Amino acid sequence: EEQYYSEQHSSLINKAYQTLLNPLSRGLYLLELNGVEPVQETDCDADSVFLMEIMEINEKLAEPKNEAILEDIETLIKVKQEELTKELTAAFERADLQEAKKLLAKMKYFANLEDKLKNKKIPS
């Protein structure tokens, strides 16, 4: 019985650690704790400049594999994610949950781009 409880708690601790480790999942969890409805990618649809930037990166990812372009995209994604994480931290510190929600929606776009980039880099 002790071993069963130990395994259950170990699993919960690992899940909590993984949630808190990633800025996106941590932010989503903090919104949930504050009773804010889940983030939808449409939460940042009004930001046409942002959406154009995402579209341009998607177009570059759709082009034939080019290591230099992929490295540039990877660097851009990392920089944008760091900027958004800093803005998100500031929004939570101000208790501006609606701004945090918008930033998390943008972070979701970059997480999707990061996944596409990883898939593109994996040799087929």
Instruction: Please state, in angstroms and rounded to a whole number, the distance separating the CA atoms of residues 106 and 24.
Output: 10
Amino acid at site 110: F
pLDDT digits (tens, 9 = 90+) for 14-25: 999 999 999 999
pLDDT digits (tens, 9 = 90+) for 7-48: 889 989 999 999 999 999 999 999 999 999 887 766 666 688
Domain boundaries, the chain: 1-121
Write the DSSP string, 9-69.
HHHHHHHHHHHHHSHHHHHHHHHHHTTPPPP-GGGGTT-HHHHHHHHHHHHHHHSSP-HHH
> pTM for the full model?
0.84
